[in-house]
Amino acid sequence: MKFKDMEYKRPDVEEIKSTFESLCKDFDAASSGEEQWAVHQKYYELSDRIMSQATIAEIRHDVDMTDEYYKKENDFFNSTIPLIMNLSVDYKKKLLKSPYRSYLEEKIGKVAFKNMELAEKSIDEKILPLMEEENKLTDDYNNLLATAKIDWKGEELNLSLMTPYLNSSDIEVRKEAWKKYSDFFAANAEELDDIYDKLVKNRTKQAEELGYDNYLPLGYARMQRNDYGYDEIKSFREQVKKDIVPLAEKLHEIRRQRLGLNKLHFEDEGVYFTNGNPAPTGSPEEILEAGRKMYNELSPETAEFMNFMCDNDLFDVLGRKTKKSGGYMTFIPDYKSPFIFANFNGSSSDVDVITHECGHAFQGFVVRNELVREHMDITMETAETHSMSMEYFTEPWMKLFFGERADDYVKMHFEDSVIFIPYGTMVDEFQHIAYENPGLSPKDRNGVWHDLERQYKPHLDYSGNALYEGGAFWQNKHHIYDSPLYYIDYCIAGTNALQYKVWMDKDYKAAWKSYLELCRLSASDFFSGLAVKVGLNNPFEDGSLKYMVSQLEQKYGL
């Protein structure tokens, strides 16, 4: 079904409460594991219905944040979802305590039960008002950024539409663009600091209400870190500093020489070639059509997926002034349909949508008929492995998008993928420090960011920009505000994707077979188990990043 034809109706909260109550009664009255399994399938139906309506409302709000009807619907779900989450956790507590748990574990899997235990630790009725406030604060941040109006040579642009100018091959253009871009954040710095300060304090209070010392253990539970914890993440960060940062700095130096610059200034961070970064040669419609051709040639599975997406208008990718910035993939359960939201801006990031977000969507499509919904409930480091690896698997088709500059794009993508990992890991360490020290002032937080930049990006030079010299660059990163502790998942997945890169260069078919199996396994096993099953090294194991770096240095002569 085409997205425009998908019906939206606001769920009735009292009816939801009543249905959950009936489910709980029926579950308690069941006299066997089989009967409880039958009740649980009714829970799937209820959950799918609620999430489908919430997702449709979210998409229609995001595509036009001035639409008053869907703004109200989005506000409704912001206040209602915490209640529904709590009802769901109350129901799932019954599975955890069921006398037939062994039967249910066999049906649903140990991963699902571990996730239920984490969910039980992450919500309670007493923190629902705080969760509603948290949702409102993240909306305030997104609305502030989405409604940015930057005067660019007489044309009014939002932040997303500034991207081509921020990365222009003309150094004077990008200097002017970055000044206007950062001026927006400087003008709103006080409000941005205030929103984040309230978010940190709000999340800390939620954690304290649930008996935690700070937000980190609660955040880990909400991220469903079911296979690793704080120590493993800390060890990963140390490996990044020791092994990835030196490789990234080599690549920065190669890029500096290629650009003919005496030093890399912050305005040069997103520029890779003197004649400009490779940009797609076609219109948005032509990019989508090239994506369709690419996926039809890649494999029968990707062909079926992309034809379904295109035929049902499951992309909204055109940049518009009233559209939420950023991009994402989401899933509409009742229609078994992935949906991709993005803001095309004429840069290579438009193609990244057709690779990265389609990696997410493809995996969701592959398991769309999975009976056990919990098997679709993948953790984020696995989800991002699907997307970031797809960026590499699609490289043989880049000529469709970039023409004669396809090789430049492949080179840029590799360099960008490596140098992202230190940045993304820095975002994670920044958040850990912020939540371990919720009393930090805005100035203190900026100081933390400034110090971390010296460790993770020692080449960086912000001279001439007071805002960024002061450590405020982090304020343009959505994840820090609205998806706490998420960003490290990109870095973990980035190392997996680079493993696939090395593998596919040696044996593309074998690497693709492994990738397809990873997609099909979904969340049926824990992260470390999935890695073993498909032949990947666990990035948390000491020495794994060093080995990967040695493989890349050997391949690229670094």
* C-alpha angle 280-292-357 in degrees, rounded to nearest 5: 70
Residue 71: half-sphere exposure toward Cβ, Cα within 13 Å: 12
Say whether 329 sits in a helix, a strand or coil. strand
Structure tokens at 453: 């930049």
Per-residue tokens: 450: 């400034």
Q: Residue 259's closest CA among 171, 164, 179?
A: 171
Q: Is 232 exposed, middle or buried, given 0-12, 13-18 or 19+ CB atoms closer than 10 A?
A: middle
**Residues 418, 490: contact at Cβ < 8 Å?**
no
- Residue 318 makes CB contacts below 8 A (sequence gap 6+) with 284, 343, 344
Match 């649903």 to its residue by tokens: 108
- The tokens of 182 are what? 């950062």
- DSSP assignment letter at 223: T
Instruction: Please name the amino acid found at residue 197.
Output: D
Q: Which amino acid is at 166?
A: L
CA distance 11 to 366: 28
Pairwise CA distance, residues 314 & 310, whole Å: 6
Q: Please list, in sequence order, all residues whose beta carbon lies within 8 angstroms of the beta carbon of residue 519, skipping any fewer than 6 positions away.
A: 362, 363, 366, 367, 386
Q: Are 13 and 21 in contact (CB under 8 A)?
A: no
- Spatial distance between the Cα atoms of 366 and 31, rounded to a whole number of angstroms: 35
Q: Please, is 326 exposed, middle or buried when counting C-beta atoms within 10 Å of its C-beta (0-12, 13-18, 19+)?
A: middle
Supply the pLDDT for residue 295: 98
Secondary structure class of 340 (helix, strand, coil):
strand
Q: Which amino acid belongs to residue 54?
A: A
Distance of CA 13 to the CA centre of its chain: 29
Identify the three-state secondary structure at position 523: coil
With CA atoms as reference, report the closest residue to 469 among 183, 266, 245. 266
Yes or no: say if 31 and 340 are a contact pair by the CB < 8 Å rule: no
Closest to 73 measured CA to CA, from 62, 83, 84 = 62
Structure tokens at 45: 């139906």
Decide if 485 contacts 380 (C-beta within 8 A): no
**pTM for the structure as a whole:** 0.89
501-537 burial code (b ≥16 CB/10 A, e <16): bebbeeeeeebbebbbebbebbbbbbbbebbeebebb
**438 Cβ contact partners less than 8 Å away, ≥ 6 residues apart:** 200, 201, 204, 214, 215
Residue 243, both tokens: 């092994």
Nearest to 216 by CA among 526, 481, 431: 431
Start-to-end Cα distance in the chain: 49
Determine the Cα–Cα distance for residues 429 and 457; give it in Å rounded to an integer: 13
Beta-sheet strands, E only, within 471-520: none
| 3-state SS assignment for residue 444 | helix
Q: Which residue has the tokens 């919990």?
A: 374
pLDDT of residue 558: 82
Distance CA 449, CA 430 (A): 6
133 vs 444: CA distance, rounded Å? 24
Amino acid letter, 266: F
- pLDDT (tens, 9 = 90+) of the chain, 558 residues, equals 999 999 999 999 999 999 999 999 999 999 999 999 999 999 999 999 999 999 999 999 999 989 999 999 999 998 999 899 999 999 999 999 999 999 999 999 999 999 999 999 998 999 999 999 999 999 999 999 988 999 999 999 988 889 889 999 999 999 999 999 999 999 999 999 999 999 999 999 999 999 999 999 999 999 999 999 999 999 999 999 999 999 999 999 999 999 999 999 999 999 999 999 999 998 989 999 999 999 999 999 999 999 999 999 999 998 887 888 788 999 999 999 999 999 988 888 899 999 999 999 999 999 999 999 999 989 999 999 999 999 999 999 999 999 999 999 999 999 999 999 999 999 999 999 999 999 999 999 999 999 999 999 999 999 999 999 999 999 999 999 999 999 999 999 999 999 999 999 999 999 999 999 999 999 999 999 999 999 999 999 999 999 999 999 998 888
